[in-house]
Amino acid sequence: MTWLNSRSPLALGIWSIVLIAGVSAALYATFAAVQYRWNWSGVWPYRYQFISGWLTTLGISLGAMLFSVIVGFLLMAGGRSSWTPVRLFATGMTAFLRGTPLLVQLLIGYYVIANALRINEPLLVGTLLLGFFEGAYLAEIFRGAVESIGASQRESARAVGFSVPQTYRYVIIPQAFRRALPGTTGQLVSLIKDSSLLSVIGIEELVQKVRILNAGNYTALEGYIPLAIAYLAVTLPLTWWARTLERRFAYET
């Protein structure tokens, strides 16, 4: 039965069904064993609140993703600069952002820095702070990808007469892009989940809405299971999309 071990769509389909059925059965057995009492009717009235939280999470995530890619690129480029103050600033920022908890960055960033600057827009400030935090991780992913482009490629680029900016534009970034994709996707998935922490500065995103819903009904899983599904509804398509991108830019070196 070697075809069952093949990559044909039929084999993949059959195995997917078998695995999903197995995991569902295991989950059902677990819930049955703890005799969990479901209260779905109590949470149903909160459906619009749930959707508004989900949309908030989506909006924050999308904004922070775009911003974090820009931050990541700038921190990576700054960290490779030959100009010492720029390099020190970029590497220092990267280390600080990666080395301190997002919770602390959000609290200080919103209640101290944004307050001092008289900015009273929790959504905007939260999105930017999240973008900075994830951008520092992306900077290191980008740095790894850029540094993995070999010396012979850089020399070839110099030899055909490319200037330094041209070398990055035509040789290094196109090749580094492909290598940075898997790590970047993982980081963006993390970003979506990390957006839940924005509740500490008063943003009612998805997790906060679910907390309110659970508190109002003395429920737990009736909120948290839809919560997990709502996150998967975003993170799975993102992962698949990244895979197709990887395939499109695939080439052997």
Q: Which residues of 106-124 are buried (b: 16+ CB within 10 A; e: fewer)?
A: beebbeeebeeeeeeebbe
Please select the residue that binds other proteins; options are 39, 153, 190, 239, rule is CB under 8 A. 153
Window of 80-88, 130-138, 164-172, 212-220 that interacts with other proteins by CB under 8 A: 164-172
Q: CB 161 → other proteins: shortest distance, Å?
A: 4
Please select the residue that binds other proteins; options are 121, 166, 215, 243, rule is CB under 8 A. 166
In the complex with other proteins, which residue's Cβ is closer, 45 or 150? 150
Q: CB 160 → other proteins: shortest distance, Å?
A: 4
Q: Does 170 bind other proteins (CB under 8 A)?
A: yes
The CA distance from 242 to 47, in Å, is 30
Q: CB 150 → other proteins: shortest distance, Å?
A: 7
Phi, psi of 75 (to 5 degrees): -65, -40
Please select the residue that binds other proteins; options are 62, 74, 122, 162, rule is CB under 8 A. 162
Please select the residue that binds other proteins; options are 32, 33, 34, 159, rule is CB under 8 A. 159
Q: Does 160 bind other proteins (CB under 8 A)?
A: yes
Q: Which two tokens stand for residue 198?
A: 């924005």
Window of 21-29, 35-43, 107-115, 170-178 that interacts with other proteins by CB under 8 A: 170-178
The CA distance from 153 to 145, in Å, is 14
In the complex with other proteins, which residue's Cβ is closer, 175 or 208? 175
Of 124, 122, 127, 130, whose CA–CA distance to 105 is shortest?
Answer: 130
The CA distance from 185 to 179, in Å, is 11
Q: Does 163 bind other proteins (CB under 8 A)?
A: yes
Phi, psi of 10 (to 5 degrees): -65, -45
**Cα-based distances in Å from 14 to 23, 77, 136:** 14, 47, 41
In the complex with other proteins, which residue's Cβ is closer, 100 or 156? 156
The CA distance from 238 to 187, in Å, is 11
Contact 206, 56 (CB under 8 A): yes
Please select the residue that binds other proteins; options are 174, 202, 228, 243, rule is CB under 8 A. 174
Residues in contact with other proteins by the rule CB under 8 A: 150, 152-153, 155-163, 166, 170-171, 174-175, 178, 249, 251-253
